[in-house]
Amino acid sequence: MAVKLFKRAACGFVLGMVVGALMVVAISFASGNGSLILPAKLLKMTGTEAGALLAHMLASGAYGAIPMAGTLLYELDSWGLLKQVVVHYASYTAAFMCFGTACGWIEPNLVDMGIVAGVYAVCHCIIWLIMYNRYRAEVKRLNELLAKTKAP
């Protein structure tokens, strides 16, 4: 389990770094002024664009590691699907709140945090609905097969 956790976290870290870098590139291109657009808080903390980019990528990586490692929750046999989705959502959101406010991705106010929590809640509701309906269909199939098995 520990090895699995480490592998997933490592994978999430790399993916997070890549996504973080791509976002900086995309936003910078979209702005059109020819320079890298980085969070002001990071620029202030590190003093240089390179330092800010590195900090941003490391924070993105760490933020990616947490939800990826959190997917192991779905493999806990003793937990129901709802509990797994709720705990995953909580860890996901809490991680973003921490890294987001620390790196200046969002402002530390209720509105920004509320929007983030709300968007993630909608995403996880969709995840739960899809998985729930899929398993309901599978269980319906089980009952049909059970009836066939018991038929005289």
Chain residues that interact with other proteins, rule: CB under 8 A: 75, 77-78, 80-85, 128, 131-132, 135-136, 138-139, 141-143, 145-146, 148-150
CB of 94 to other proteins, least distance (A): 22
Is 35 exposed, middle or buried, given 0-12, 13-18 or 19+ CB atoms closer than 10 A?
exposed
Please report how close the Cβ of residue 142 comes to other proteins at its closest, in angstroms.
Answer: 5
Amino acid at 138: E
φ, ψ dihedrals at 107, nearest 5°: -80, 145
CB 58 within 8 A of CB 17: yes
CB nearer to other proteins: give 74 or 120.
74
Pick 5 or 19: Cβ nearer other proteins:
5
Least distance in Å: CB of 72 to other proteins? 13
